[in-house]
Chain A
Amino acid sequence: MNVELGHFALILALALSIVQSVLPVYGARTGNARLMSVAGPNAITTFALIALSFIALASAFLLSDFSVRIVWENSHSLTPTLYKFTSVWGNHEGSMLLWVLILSFFGALVALFGRNLPPALKANALGVQGWISTAFLLFILLTSNPFARLDPAPFEGRDLNPVLQDIGLAIHPPLLYLGYVGFSICFSFAVAALIDGRIDAAWARWVRPWALTAWIFLTGGIAMGSYWSYYELGWGGWWFWDPVENASFMPWLVGTALLHSAVVMEKRSALKIWTILLAILTFSLSLLGTFLVRSGVLTSVHAFATDPTRGIFILAILTLFIGGSFALFAWRAPTLAVGGLFQPISREGALVLNNLFLTTAAATVLVGTLYPLLLEALTGAKISVGPPFFDMTFAPIMVPLLAAVPFGPLLAWKRGDLAGAAQRLMTAFALALAVTAIMLMWTDASAVLAALGIGLASWLILGALTDLALKAGFGRVGWAVMVQRVTGLPRSMFGTALAHLGLGVTVLGISVVGGFQTENILDMRPGQVVQAGGGYSLRFEGMSGLQGPNYTARVATFDLLDRTGAKLDTISSAKRLYATRQMVTTEAGIRTLWPSQMYVSVGDETGDGAVVARIWWKPFVTLIWTGGLVMMAGGALSLMDRRLRVGAPSRSRRSPKAATVAEPAE
């Protein structure tokens, strides 16, 4: 009964989405305020209906109602409750439902917080949201109905894919979708502006918080996904250039560009057309990502859908939205007024450079991901494009960009002083150079790249700190004034510095672990001790059996010993057999010795209690994800900036002092 209610609610949501697609847009064209005002309540109701539908599906999973096909396919009565819940989106149908749930959630947010939006812009933007949700609800109802029943109902389910039975599934897809789909708001605003033919700094002020919100979630989603595959897949890599990873990385790169160009548009009303294009591009890449993952066109670890009708349906959605929005762009963009002018050496110029490199980087990832598919489709020739290709092309494009990052915030708007900025960055540069030199002297020839990477990372970190120190007037004013200045700085400035610092932290982690990780692959007998790296050693204690809720496991236990041979901790790594699916997974044993990690992964038992062990010492590895968290914190700080809180006018009225904080001279 609940299941049918959920299905019905979903159909009702489709009906409302169709209404939302038509009436508000028509109202905006004809200037009919009553039609335009349909959009808000309609968007909120759509969200409520899809949420109801989602709850119905979740309850079917929690109650193990195996008469629902996807519950039978992806759950089991013995599956732990958390995984019963997360299996809701651990499959194609449910994950699409989560996708539209988040889409409608954002639509409802615009409806709720967009009270002071220009009515036509709001109506058009929500109308475009309606188009997207209509398309995807149709897709779900016609090709991927999550509520399909089985008759007769089976007694037992087939269990969730063991690789997905992890807390990572609870966090990673929702975060990623909040990011992916969050950019739909920017897309809707961009298309609405094109329909309206009007765009101004206020538009950018509207779009920036949404872009920032989506970006924060996408950053978190990617970082989380990276850590998840790192510990779950059991071979210690943190990024594989897997097509599905690329699918989430491309919107991130272009979304980062969008974030920066929206700043230029807001502050200087320049780069309008370009910002619109980036907004369209970011969501187009999100759609492309959805297509790549959901259509099964790429077979990779993530793809759990392989039905061609679905692929063609999503391809149609993709063509319609990307083609349509680009056509609209080509038609309407020339009518938009060009904004303020600036010299090449200026804050704007630096942000243009950022955009150029980030979009090029995204284009690189795009061509690497799609080229094998296109070549095979066109000529039948099969080639592979893997990590070595991306390492060779992506890195050379990112390095100049990273090297330029510290300059950006130090340049003035309109016309900057590069020599002056360089002078102020002198200390940071000298220190970074010293770090590089020390690293080069200390290491052998094989770690030259790592040494340079560490130098680059220190440059980024020190550059971000220099930016803050300069804005606080370090060295020029007394401590008291400095404290006052620091507390008076807009939060978005801390946000910028923090995000750039986070980037440096990530680069540091990547460089150190890339250059200095050590690996041991060996047969270990009980009692045997091995030097594992970082001054630590591991002693193999032995194997034991373990009965989990829905698996059996063989667990290898190791003692972690420090330099003196004293025992610090135990690390256990296991092989699990999930009986229902007859699948074996490796559970890596990881002990964090901040910021580094000891990573142990066991293989086959080779007799006499011996086991094949693969042991990595991963120095500074946690910094890779810590940097992501720091970037997110930077984004969050920026989002909390009062100047960005256009949606909460009452709050700024309550604190008039805050609203008048002057921008310090740069």
Chain B
Amino acid sequence: MRAVLRWTAVALLGLWLSLAGLAGPALAVNPDEMLANPQLEARARDISKELRCLVCQNESIDDSNADLAKDLRILVRKRLVAGDTDRQVIDFIVSRYGEFVLLKPRLEMRTLLLWAFPFAVLAIGAGFLAFSRRRTAETQRPLTLEEERRLAEILEKRP
């Protein structure tokens, strides 16, 4: 009886797996999708890592097990086999699915702030530090080198 139950469960598992590849975080790239040409395949993998699986949560199509991701992986490979450059492949996917598909957004007006922000923060921070240094240097004069040296002498003489 238990064995029957178990095998029913296993059969259900198989059925379920074939029906819905969505939830199970399982295999992404499958052997049957892969290209025979290793260079093309490597390019396909690199491109796949930059494309978002549209129905998933923060996964690239390279990592995802969703059906849509599989379709996109196959599409990327088809375009590569047809002789597209990496850029053309990505442009083609974007023209079909929109900018949302790119995990690394392109530099445009609306993403300017995104790309510039880190470096702007660094520059502004450095500028602010330099500015505030100059200001404190004006208001509070530290000991001169000569004074410091004398101070050190006095301190050293102390037993």
Nearest A residue to B26 via CB reads A586
- Contact assessment for A386 and B129 in the assembled complex, using a CB-CB cutoff below 8 Å: no
Cα-based distance from A632 to B137 in the complex (angstroms): 38
- Contact assessment for A397 and B122 in the assembled complex, using a CB-CB cutoff below 8 Å: yes
**Which of B13, B28, B52 is A577 in contact with, Cβ under 8 Å?**
B13
| 1/0 contact string of A542-570 vs chain B (CB within 8 Å) | 00010100001010000000000000000
| 1/0 contact string of A376-389 vs chain B (CB within 8 Å) | 00010111111111
Q: List 30 A-B contacts (CB under 8 A).
A: A237-B63, A243-B58, A344-B133, A356-B129, A357-B122, A360-B122, A360-B125, A361-B118, A364-B118, A371-B111, A371-B114, A375-B110, A379-B110, A383-B102, A384-B101, A384-B103, A386-B52, A386-B60, A387-B60, A389-B103, A389-B104, A389-B105, A392-B104, A523-B32, A554-B13, A577-B12, A584-B17, A585-B25, A586-B27, A601-B27
With contacts A299-B57, A384-B105 taken as known, whether A521 is within 8 angstroms of B30 at the C-beta atoms is yes
User: How many residue pairs, one in A and one in B, have C-beta atoms under 8 Å apart?
Assistant: 156
Cα-based distance from A545 to B49 in the complex (angstroms): 34
B67 part of interface (Cβ distance < 8 Å): no
- Contact assessment for B10 and A552 in the assembled complex, using a CB-CB cutoff below 8 Å: yes
Cα-based distance from A384 to B100 in the complex (angstroms): 5
- Contact assessment for A575 and B26 in the assembled complex, using a CB-CB cutoff below 8 Å: yes
Sorting the interface of chain A by its residue count into under 10, 10 to 19, 20 to 34 or 35 or more gives: 35 or more
Cα-based distance from A392 to B118 in the complex (angstroms): 11
A341 part of interface (Cβ distance < 8 Å): yes
Given the complex, which residues of B lie within 8 Å of A582, measured CB to CB? 16
Cα-based distance from A523 to B24 in the complex (angstroms): 19
A301 part of interface (Cβ distance < 8 Å): yes
Cα-based distance from A233 to B13 in the complex (angstroms): 19
Nearest B residue to A522 via CB reads B31
A55 part of interface (Cβ distance < 8 Å): no
- Contact assessment for A612 and B27 in the assembled complex, using a CB-CB cutoff below 8 Å: yes
**What is A's interface to B at a CB cutoff of 8 Å?**
163, 233-235, 237, 240, 242-243, 299-301, 338, 341, 344, 352, 356-357, 359-361, 363-364, 367-368, 371, 375, 379, 381-389, 392-394, 397, 521-523, 545, 547, 552, 554, 575, 577, 579, 582-586, 601-605, 612, 614
Given the complex, which residues of A lie within 8 Å of B7, measured CB to CB? 545
- Contact assessment for A612 and B30 in the assembled complex, using a CB-CB cutoff below 8 Å: yes
Given the complex, which residues of A lie within 8 Å of B23, measured CB to CB? 583-584
B68 part of interface (Cβ distance < 8 Å): no
- Contact assessment for A584 and B57 in the assembled complex, using a CB-CB cutoff below 8 Å: no
Q: Which 9 A-B pairs have the closest CB atoms?
A: A386-B103, A603-B27, A388-B104, A584-B24, A364-B118, A577-B13, A382-B100, A367-B117, A552-B9
Given the complex, which residues of B lie within 8 Å of A585, measured CB to CB? 24-25
How many residues on B have C-beta within 8 angstroms of the other chain's C-beta atoms? 54
B121 part of interface (Cβ distance < 8 Å): yes
- Contact assessment for A356 and B125 in the assembled complex, using a CB-CB cutoff below 8 Å: yes
Given the complex, which residues of A lie within 8 Å of B38, measured CB to CB? none
- Contact assessment for B16 and A363 in the assembled complex, using a CB-CB cutoff below 8 Å: no
Cα-based distance from A602 to B103 in the complex (angstroms): 27
Given the complex, which residues of A lie within 8 Å of B34, measured CB to CB? 521
Given the complex, which residues of A lie within 8 Å of B159, measured CB to CB? none
Given the complex, which residues of A lie within 8 Å of B86, measured CB to CB? none
Cα-based distance from A352 to B50 in the complex (angstroms): 35
**Which of B25, B103, B110, B118 is A381 in contact with, Cβ under 8 Å?**
B110
Nearest chain B CB to A612 CB, angstrom units: 6
* Chain B interface main SS type: helix
| 1/0 contact string of B55-73 vs chain A (CB within 8 Å) | 0011010010000000000
Given the complex, which residues of A lie within 8 Å of B113, measured CB to CB? 367, 371
Cα-based distance from A234 to B2 in the complex (angstroms): 30
B136 part of interface (Cβ distance < 8 Å): yes
- Contact assessment for A386 and B58 in the assembled complex, using a CB-CB cutoff below 8 Å: yes
Nearest B residue to A546 via CB reads B6
- Contact assessment for A383 and B99 in the assembled complex, using a CB-CB cutoff below 8 Å: yes
- Contact assessment for A554 and B10 in the assembled complex, using a CB-CB cutoff below 8 Å: yes
Nearest chain B CB to A391 CB, angstrom units: 9
Nearest chain B CB to A286 CB, angstrom units: 20
Given the complex, which residues of A lie within 8 Å of B63, measured CB to CB? 235, 237
- Contact assessment for B58 and A240 in the assembled complex, using a CB-CB cutoff below 8 Å: yes
Nearest B residue to A363 via CB reads B121
Given the complex, which residues of B lie within 8 Å of A545, measured CB to CB? 6-7, 10
Given the complex, which residues of B lie within 8 Å of A604, measured CB to CB? 17-18, 26-27, 30
B140 part of interface (Cβ distance < 8 Å): yes
Given the complex, which residues of B lie within 8 Å of A575, measured CB to CB? 13, 17, 24, 26
- Contact assessment for B50 and A341 in the assembled complex, using a CB-CB cutoff below 8 Å: no
Cα-based distance from A394 to B10 in the complex (angstroms): 45
- Contact assessment for B98 and A382 in the assembled complex, using a CB-CB cutoff below 8 Å: yes
Given the complex, which residues of A lie within 8 Å of B14, measured CB to CB? 605
Nearest chain A CB to B141 CB, angstrom units: 9
Given the complex, which residues of A lie within 8 Å of B111, measured CB to CB? 371, 383
Known: A363-B121, A552-B13. 11 other contacts (CB 8 A): A301-B58, A341-B142, A361-B118, A381-B99, A383-B102, A383-B105, A384-B52, A389-B105, A575-B13, A577-B13, A586-B25
Nearest chain B CB to A424 CB, angstrom units: 21
Cα-based distance from A131 to B12 in the complex (angstroms): 52
Nearest A residue to B122 via CB reads A360
- Contact assessment for B12 and A338 in the assembled complex, using a CB-CB cutoff below 8 Å: no
Cα-based distance from A249 to B110 in the complex (angstroms): 26
